[in-house]
Amino acid sequence: MTQPPTGTLIGVGVGPGDPELLTIKAVKAIQTADVIAFHARPGGVSAAKTIATNYLSDNHELELLEYPVTTGIVDHPGGYAGAMADFYLEATTRLAAHLAAGKTVAVLTLGDPMLYSSYQHLHRVLAEQFPSTIIPGIPSITAAADALGQPLCEEEEILTVLPGTLDQVVLTARLRDTDCAVIMKLGRTFPKVKQALIDAGVADKAYVVVRASMTDETIIPVLAADPETIPYFAVAVVPSTGGIDATDAIPAGDKPRGEVVVVGLGPGSPQWITPEATMELAHATDIVGYSTYVNRVPHRAGQKRHSSDNKVEAERAAMALDLAKRGRRVAVVSSGDPGVFAMAAAVIETADDDQWRDVPVRIVPGMTAAQAVASRVGAPLGHDFGMISLSDRLKPFEVVENRVRALAGADMAFAVYNPASKERRDQVAILKKIVAEYQAPTTPVIVARAVGSNHEQVTVTTLADFDPSVVDMQTMLIIGASTTRTYQAGVGTDEGGVKRVFTSRRYG
């Protein structure tokens, strides 16, 4: 007995809205299909059918798949999920009857059939029983970016596509952890989406594209968008930062308030820059900092760089705050962690002025030099420890001496920042002399130079053998305590033995 022929299921992407954006293959599939199926909200008009209207004929059988609901509010005993499950069961049953009768069924879907599409639910069931094919369509993601005339993503940037139905906290976290983003499913979700964009610090360069490619297409800066007027057929776009500066594209009267983000670059190695810091650098319109640190930031098209000398922290902070007041997104860069002998304090202190108190300031932490140096030898800062800068540029050296005595007298390991410079050559010797009053000659001392660079040198010595003359501004010291121990490891291996250092958490 000959089996009756089965029909073919075709998922047809009709694109974002403009009928001229239908592909030739999509048009052929629509024209030759027996049955045309399309979705619509209760009492509404199918946008997908409207796009394909010119290619429909009296020979087509039309199947309207009308959603029972379009929000989570429903009287169904199984709730919204139950109502939708019944809907898809009924829809697949209807389409399966056509396919079993040997008819070709084309299901029209906005954008692309495999991107946040209702067709996906039909495909999962029907493609297991009948032959199927999918015709790609232009998604609203790219249509919106093209409408903006800005790159959606460039070079090594990461693009994240998000549904607006996500929890606001999750949206914010995802937006902070990417370079470029598109948020779909707006409409009633837009208020929380807008707040998530603000909380993530990217709202100033984001846009809402309403009905991309349609005759009533509208582009609105996110910060100027009225949540009450944003429809479902809209996407929010956070475009690439590699091209046009988004704040320059907004009319002057609508320019958002800028912000200052103080970013820690870590001690030196690119591997030690956090993903958060990398993201903030990518999103910044301006990079401000000591020239040595600014040079560590990769160049980006359209980004302005403001380098200065290492001894003008207050002036640098004022310039950054002034740029932010004018609507710029400014990244002030510091080595290590910006809150440890670096620019965070300078910016926060300078911002304590009537002209800048309303400028948003955020601090993005980085790995400290002390952590990096300690990691090279083990755990010399594994118990209570201190940090001190030997620089007397902003405080009398008498204060430095008193603090060294307090640290050594408290018997805890401590890291020494800025131990010497071309002009300051005696202070390390004074440090050694003071510590020797409190600690044994065998106290471990770590001398680390240019950690994280190709010129890294780390030496473990003792207080007695420590030579202050080898120290310069690229050097960091860690002075041990009475509980700091060293031992030789890896003896007899290819490494030839390494000296490990740790400060015990136990006494006695």
Smallest CA-to-CA distance from 127 within 139, 137, 116, 113 is with: 113
Phi, psi of 351 (to 5 degrees): -70, -10
User: CA–CA separation, 189 vs 125, rounded Å?
Assistant: 29
Contact between 478 and 446 under an 8 Å Cβ cutoff? The reply is: yes
Contact between 132 and 38 under an 8 Å Cβ cutoff? The reply is: no
- Average pLDDT, stretch 313-336? 91
Contact between 229 and 310 under an 8 Å Cβ cutoff? The reply is: no
In DSSP terms, which residues pair with 363 in a beta bridge?
262
Could you read off the pLDDT of 459-499 as tens digits, one per residue?
A: 999 999 999 999 988 899 999 999 999 998 876 555 556 78
User: CA–CA separation, 330 vs 81, rounded Å?
Assistant: 45
In this predicted structure, the answer to whether residue 142 has a pLDDT above a threshold of 60 is yes
User: CA–CA separation, 345 vs 335, rounded Å?
Assistant: 14
pLDDT the model gives residue 78: 65
Order the strands of the 385-389 sheet from edge to edge: 385-389, 413-417, 475-479, 444-449, 457-462
Which SS3 state, helix, strand or coil, does residue 234 take?
strand
Superfamily of domain 259-367: Tetrapyrrole methylase, N-terminal domain (3.40.1010.10)
Could you read off the pLDDT of 429-462 as tens digits, one per residue?
A: 999 999 999 999 999 999 999 898 888 999 999 9
- Average pLDDT, stretch 175-182? 92
User: CA–CA separation, 427 vs 433, rounded Å?
Assistant: 10
In this predicted structure, the answer to whether residue 325 has a pLDDT above a threshold of 80 is yes
In this predicted structure, the answer to whether residue 39 has a pLDDT above a threshold of 90 is yes
Q: Return the ∠ at Cα 378 (arms to 375 and 383), rounded to 5°.
A: 95
Cβ neighbours of residue 86 closer than 8 Å, sequence gap 6 or more: 68, 76, 78
User: CA–CA separation, 440 vs 506, rounded Å?
Assistant: 18
Could you read off the pLDDT of 89-133 as tens digits, one per residue?
A: 999 999 999 999 999 999 999 999 999 999 999 999 999 999 999
% of the chain residues with pLDDT over 90: 63
Take residue 175 and report the two structure tokens written for it: 């937006």
Please state the three-class secondary structure of 142-193 as a single string: HHHHHHHCCCCCCCCCCEEEEECCCCHHHHHHHHHCCCEEEEECCHHHHHHH
Which SS3 state, helix, strand or coil, does residue 125 take?
helix
Cβ neighbours of residue 192 closer than 8 Å, sequence gap 6 or more: 164, 168, 171
pLDDT the model gives residue 246: 41
Cβ neighbours of residue 278 closer than 8 Å, sequence gap 6 or more: none
Which SS3 state, helix, strand or coil, does residue 474 take?
coil
Q: How far is CA 15 from CA 19, 107, 111, 237, in A?
A: 8, 13, 4, 18
pLDDT the model gives residue 257: 63
Instruction: Locate CATH 3.30.950.10 in the chain.
Output: 141-254, 370-503
Question: pLDDT band at residue 2, thresholds of 50, 70 and 90?
Answer: low
In this predicted structure, the answer to whether residue 253 has a pLDDT above a threshold of 60 is no
At 448, the amino acid letter reads A
Contact between 396 and 424 under an 8 Å Cβ cutoff? The reply is: no
- Topology classification of domain 9-138: Cobalt-precorrin-4 Transmethylase; domain 1 (3.40.1010)
Is the domain spanning 370-503 CATH 1.10.275.10? The answer is no
Q: For the stretch 356-383, what's the b/e string if a residue is b when 16 or more beta carbons lie within 10 angstroms of its beta carbon?
A: beebebebbbbbbbbbbbbebbbbbbbb
User: CA–CA separation, 500 vs 459, rounded Å?
Assistant: 11
pLDDT the model gives residue 50: 94
Q: For the stretch 89-127, what's the b/e string if a residue is b when 16 or more beta carbons lie within 10 angstroms of its beta carbon?
A: eebbeebbebbeeebbbbbbbbbbbbbbbbbeebbebbe
In this predicted structure, the answer to whether residue 28 has a pLDDT above a threshold of 80 is yes
Contact between 109 and 118 under an 8 Å Cβ cutoff? The reply is: yes
Could you read off the pLDDT of 288-304 as tens digits, one per residue?
A: 999 889 999 988 767 88
Instruction: Locate CATH 3.40.1010.10 in the chain.
Output: 9-138, 259-367
CATH class given for the domain over 141-254: alpha beta
The DSSP line for 419-460 is ---SS--SHHHHHHHHHHTTS-TT-EEEEEESTTSTT-EEEE
Smallest CA-to-CA distance from 465 within 491, 490, 486 is with: 486
Contact between 207 and 195 under an 8 Å Cβ cutoff? The reply is: no
Which residue do the tokens 């807008």 mark?
194
